[in-house]
Structure 1
């Protein structure tokens, strides 16, 4: 089976994130995508001093999918800050794993939704080490304006169904990795995202 898109679940997560998150743009977009794809293993990276919007949005999505939400943290200071701020802003704290990329990714098999922060020096390493779900996966690199030389081909060995760059927040690289053995679908559908601050409408092509 491949990942199956649920517009109803995506809409519910989007609206809930808008209501519960102080930051707009990236948070509701990733929340809607994770919920819409019914992701069962959501993985994100975070470092000390980072924004919380994406994490709150993913926590909302996890509530709609019933899956796991795991945050990878580089050290104990980051872990303590993340735990405190998530408890305050989201009222819930996901699973947390502290350590370098190799250590943190160990045991996380079947990742089907992943958000990495390109401001972390090891973001490409984390992506390359991800054990992706055989049903397909959605990968997002946020703060992507600082990683102009980044290419998905350099970190993902699986077939890419689609990839796109969106000028949302500080830039998002988004890729949909095909299911194992799947051919790239020729038909296209669309995901629409309205930036609450700028009023701009962003449209993403996706595979069915």
Structure 2
């Protein structure tokens, strides 16, 4: 099954995320990942979250999952984080599925991931990526807070298994840095109509906003 980009769904998710995050500052990351997950038509969206983490990214992914009729799963380290996370999300009107436990335990039950967001500030973020069972159509993987020291030595090829290949990666100066990769698997194709997909970055000179378009 080949991935098909939907600009209309991406736009709707972007607008709805702007509305849902209007009370929060620095929601640009949430709006971007929401539009990308929706445009990718992601059916299994997975993210990691820990105490004091930014909640807007989760809101954006929850919005995207509604537009794609997909499953949104958030992985947290313990029950305290789970309680706090659900309280924060409920205030915004969302109640995603939440899993707790070690990476090996929780990732074993998630198969067919086609969109994943991890926090580069956490030492175990690369473990989650290595253990991810990706969809046959490939996946978009994102490391947020990628400007941190923890992520300084990170390389995408170091977390991909033999059944996956890196199609394209890009770093965007959005929020505290987004390191994104489009990954293809042996079970699917990384391109449509025989052409390799690519991301185009556009920076609005007046507002300074960064926009990413996948072609």
Q: TM-score, normalised by structure 1?
A: 0.91
Residue of structure 2 equivalent to 1:60: 63
Q: Equivalent residue for 2:153?
A: 149
From 118, 122, 128, the counterpart of 1:126: 128
Whether the 8 Å CA contact 2:2–2:190 is kept in 1: the answer is: no
In 1, are the aligned partners of 2:204 and 2:210 still within 8 Å (CA)? yes
Q: Which moved more, 1:181-190 or 1:127-136?
A: 181-190
Tell me the distance in 1 between the aligned counterparts of 2:142 and 2:204: 18
1:33 aligns with 2:40: no
What residue in structure 1 maps to residue 3 of structure 2?
Answer: 3
Give runs of aligned pairs for residues 1-208 of structure 1, distance below 5 A.
Answer: 1-21=1-21, 22-23=24-25, 24-88=27-91, 90-146=92-148, 147-157=151-161, 158-180=164-186, 182=189, 185-186=195-196, 188=198, 190=200, 192=202, 199-204=207-212, 206=214, 208=215
Q: CA deviation at 1:121?
A: 1.6
State how many pairs are aligned: 204
* Structure 1 unmatched ranges of 5 or more: none
Q: Whole-Å Cα distance in 2 between the matches of residues 122 and 67 of structure 1?
A: 26
How far, CA to CA, are the matches of 1:14 and 1:204 in structure 2? 12
Question: What secondary structure sits across from 2:32 in the alignment?
Answer: helix
Gaps of 5+ in 2: none
Taking the aligned partners of 1:121 and 1:138, their CA distance within structure 2 comes to 21
CA–CA distance in 2 between the matches of 1:183 and 1:45? Answer: 25
Report Cα offsets for 1:169-193 as digits up to 9, x if no partner. 0000000012425366446463657
Instruction: Please say if residues 192 and 202 of structure 1, whose CA atoms lie closer than 8 Å, have aligned partners that are also in contact.
Output: yes
TM-score by length of 2: 0.88
CA–CA separation in structure 1 for the residues paired with 2:8 and 2:156: 29
RMSD of aligned residue pairs (Cα, Å): 2.0
Verify the 8 A CA contact 2:137 2:189 in the aligned structure 1: no
